[in-house]
């Protein structure tokens, strides 16, 4: 099954448009503010759909939820490729949101349910990190293929169309998952049971202190990263325009080559970072302690971004985005493990969907604000709002009182509490 889990990640990240997302929308005539609004709309839709779809997945079958997710992806990718209409783009983004809502949380719950059935619960961080590393390798492969297509055709539309192919292949992959992984409970629940699952999981997330903290951190950390990460693309385009080495090529071709180089490095590093997230957390003492160190590095990376912008060292700014991506691939398995440790297995997909919803809510708030701020900021310092907001969020997370977790009793001896 680990092979199938890794294959899912490899195929899922064959999103050939991802390294060109912002540039493709700019090519369709959208401003940064409108792109931010479109991304915010996507995340609001995901946030509204996330918990109900997670509950449905827990109640009627997780495999079928994943299949429905990828059907929605196929519809979205084809629409993105064929339209320039703003209304149609919003419709496509809504279909994309359906795919995200049914996927996020659900596949993680499948992995954790399988680990529990095998008696390997303690390997959550490691196994999820391994599967995520294959996702990043998939992204590295996809960026090379996408850049080759953009270079050859000088058209961004095709990268949306071909993204539908691996999404369709993943549907075949899901059909090979054992039916026993559909549910974490023995019997299906009816509509009333779904509502009970929804209420139990949502209440658990807000009532349990040890769940509330990582979910809040996810909203801030992932929200800021998700809203800002694609601004790497126009930075790379600026460098491509300035390099005399590629002067004989068109702007689209020069950008495609540099994006392929930068994103391939980013994804390969991200793959290794994700694979070793478990050992990194163990070396730092615990997932909670590792998260605190990552917040420090997070703020430092945005400080590096600010320095790169104000000094016009664009390569320094690009490096900061690469570092943020690497850290996010360490952060994500650690965060998911923290949430999974505190959640009941019967509502795991729903709880993980609540976490993902928090991330989506963060992006939906931050993305339109960043888009507007980038549009109104003078050109030489256009991306300074991104750096300043990232630094502010990191500082707030670091000055917030750390959680204090009481260790379990071992053979009658009470362990002392350890700050997370």
Instruction: Answer yes or no: is pLDDT of 195 > 50.
Output: yes
Whether 392 maps to a domain, the answer reads: yes
Question: What whole-number distance in Å separates Cα of residue 22 and Cα of residue 233?
Answer: 7
270 CB contacts (<8 Å, ≥6 apart)? 136, 139, 325, 326, 328, 329
Do the domain assignments include residue 407? no
- Cα atoms in the Cβ-side hemisphere of radius 13 Å centred on 148: 8
**Residue the block writes with tokens 């809504």:** 94
φ, ψ for residue 404 (rounded to 5)? Answer: -115, 115
What are 20-57's pLDDT values in tens digits? 888 888 888 888 889 989 988 988 888 788 667 666 76
Domains: count for the chain = 1
Q: Which of 5, 2, 43, 55 is nearest to 349 (CA)?
A: 55
Give the C-alpha distances (Å, rounded to integers) separating 101 from 52, 315, 349.
Answer: 9, 35, 11
What are the distances in angstroms from CA 111 to CA 8, 121, 181, 300? 11, 10, 9, 33
Instruction: Give the angle subtended at the CA of 298 by the CAs of 295 and 304, to the nearest 5°.
Output: 145
- Residue 245 counted as domain residue: yes
Inside any domain, residue 413: no
Q: Can you give the CATH number for the domain in which 206 is found?
A: 1.20.1250.20
Mean pLDDT of 254-274: 83
Cβ within 8 Å of residue 295, ≥6 positions away: 221, 394, 397, 398
CA distance linking residue 271 with residue 268, whole number of Å: 5
Q: Where does the pLDDT of residue 399 fall: very low under 50, low under 70, confident under 90, or very high at 90 and above?
A: confident
Per cent of the chain over pLDDT 70 is 81
384-391 mean pLDDT = 93
pLDDT of residue 410: 38
Does residue 129 have a pLDDT over 80? no
Q: What angle, rounded to 10 degrees, do the helices at 106-117 and 348-376 form? A: 150
In a domain, 300, yes or no: yes
414 CB neighbour count, 10 Å cutoff: 10
State which residues form the domain around 231. 2-182+190-401
Does a structural domain hold residue 414?
no
Within 10 A of 58 (CB to CB), how many other CB atoms are there?
Answer: 32
For Cα atoms 379, 385, 389, give the angle at the middle one, nearest 5 degrees. Answer: 170
Taking the alpha carbons at both ends of the chain, their separation in whole angstroms is 33
Q: Enter the tokens of residue 195.
A: 């509502």
Q: What residues contact residue 130 under an 8 Å CB cut-off, 6+ apart?
A: 2, 6, 274, 275
Rounded CA separation 183/282 (Å): 31
Candidates 382, 371, 387; CA nearest to 33 is: 371
Residue 112 lies in a domain: yes
CA-to-CA distance for 11 and 165, rounded, in angstroms?
9
pLDDT at 403 over 60: no
Residue 331 is encoded by which pair of tokens? 């952060």
Do the domain assignments include residue 411?
A: no
Question: How far from 391 is each of 105, 239, 384, CA to CA, in Å?
Answer: 28, 24, 11
Supply the pLDDT for residue 415.
39
pLDDT tens digits, 286-334: 777 888 888 999 999 999 999 999 988 888 999 999 999 888 888 888 8
């Amino acid at each position: 099954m680990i092979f199938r889990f890794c294959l899912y990640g490899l195929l899922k990240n064959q999103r050939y448009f991802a390294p060109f997302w912002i540039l493709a929308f700019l090519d369709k005539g959208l401003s940064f503010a409108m792109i931010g609004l479109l991304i915010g709309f996507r995340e609001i839709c995901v946030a509204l759909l996330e918990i109900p779809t997670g509950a449905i997945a827990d109640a009627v079958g997780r495999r079928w939820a994943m299949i429905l997710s990828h059907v929605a992806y196929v519809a979205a990718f084809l629409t993105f490729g064929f339209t320039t209409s703003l209304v149609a783009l919003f419709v496509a983004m809504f279909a994309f949101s359906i795919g995200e809502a049914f996927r996020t949380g659900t596949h993680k719950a499948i992995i954790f349910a399988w680990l529990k059935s095998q008696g390997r619960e303690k390997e959550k961080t490691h196994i999820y990190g391994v599967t995520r590393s294959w996702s990043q390798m998939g992204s590295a492969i996809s960026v090379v293929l996408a850049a080759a297509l953009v270079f050859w055709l000088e058209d961004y539309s095709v990268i949306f169309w071909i993204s539908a192919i691996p999404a369709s292949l993943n549907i075949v992959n899901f059909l090979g998952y054992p039916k026993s992984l559909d549910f974490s409970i023995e019997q299906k629940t009816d509509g009333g049971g779904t509502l009970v699952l929804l209420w139990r999981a949502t209440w658990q997330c807000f009532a349990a202190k040890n769940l509330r903290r990582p979910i809040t951190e996810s909203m801030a950390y992932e929200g800021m990263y998700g809203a800002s990460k694609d601004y790497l693309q126009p930075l790379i385009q600026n460098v491509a325009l300035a390099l005399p080495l590629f002067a004989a090529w068109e702007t689209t071709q020069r950008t495609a080559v540099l994006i392929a180089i930068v994103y391939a490095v980013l994804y390969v590093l991200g793959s290794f970072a994700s694979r070793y997230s478990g050992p990194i957390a163990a070396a730092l003492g615990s997932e909670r302690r590792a998260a605190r160190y990552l917040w420090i590095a997070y703020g430092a990376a945005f400080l590096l971004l600010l320095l790169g912008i104000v000094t016009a060292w664009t390569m320094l700014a690009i490096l900061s985005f690469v570092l943020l991506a690497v850290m996010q691939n360490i952060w994500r398995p650690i965060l998911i493990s923290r949430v999974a440790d505190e959640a009941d297995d019967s509502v795991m997909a729903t709880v993980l969907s609540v976490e993902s919803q928090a991330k989506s809510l963060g992006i939906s708030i931050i993305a339109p604000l960043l888009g507007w701020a980038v549009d109104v900021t003078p050109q030489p310092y256009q991306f300074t709002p991104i750096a300043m907001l990232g630094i502010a969020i990191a500082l707030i997370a670091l000055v917030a009182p750390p959680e204090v977790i009481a260790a379990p009793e071992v053979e009658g001896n009470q362990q002392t509490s350890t700050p997370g």
